[in-house]
Amino acid sequence: MEKFGKSQSVNRVEDVRFLTGHGGYVDDIAPADALVAYVLRAPVAHARIVGLDLDAARMHDGVQLVITAADLQAAGVALDMTASTVTNLDGSQGAAPMRPLLAQDRVRFAGEAVAVVIADSLELARDAAEQVVVDYEELPVHLSLQAGGEPLHSEAPENRAFDWGFGTKDATEAAFDKAAHRVCLRIDDNRVIVNSLEPRGCFAEWDDNRLHLSVNGQ
Q: Can you name the residues that pair with 93 across neighbouring β-strands? A: 87
Backbone angles phi, psi at 137, to 5 degrees: -105, 100
Digit-coded pLDDT (tens) for 53-107: 999 999 999 999 999 999 999 999 988 887 788 899 888 989 888 889 999 999 9
- The alpha carbons of the chain give a radius of gyration, in whole angstroms, of 24
**Domains, the chain:** 15-85+98-168 (3.90.1170.50)
110 vs 14 pLDDT, higher one: 110
Is residue 115 very low, low, confident or very high in pLDDT (cuts 50, 70, 90)? very high
Give the model's pLDDT for residue 23.
Answer: 84
Burial class (CB in 10 A: 0-12, 13-18, 19+), 160: middle
H-run or E-run covering 63: strand 63-67
State the pTM of this model: 0.77
Give the model's pLDDT for residue 205.
Answer: 87
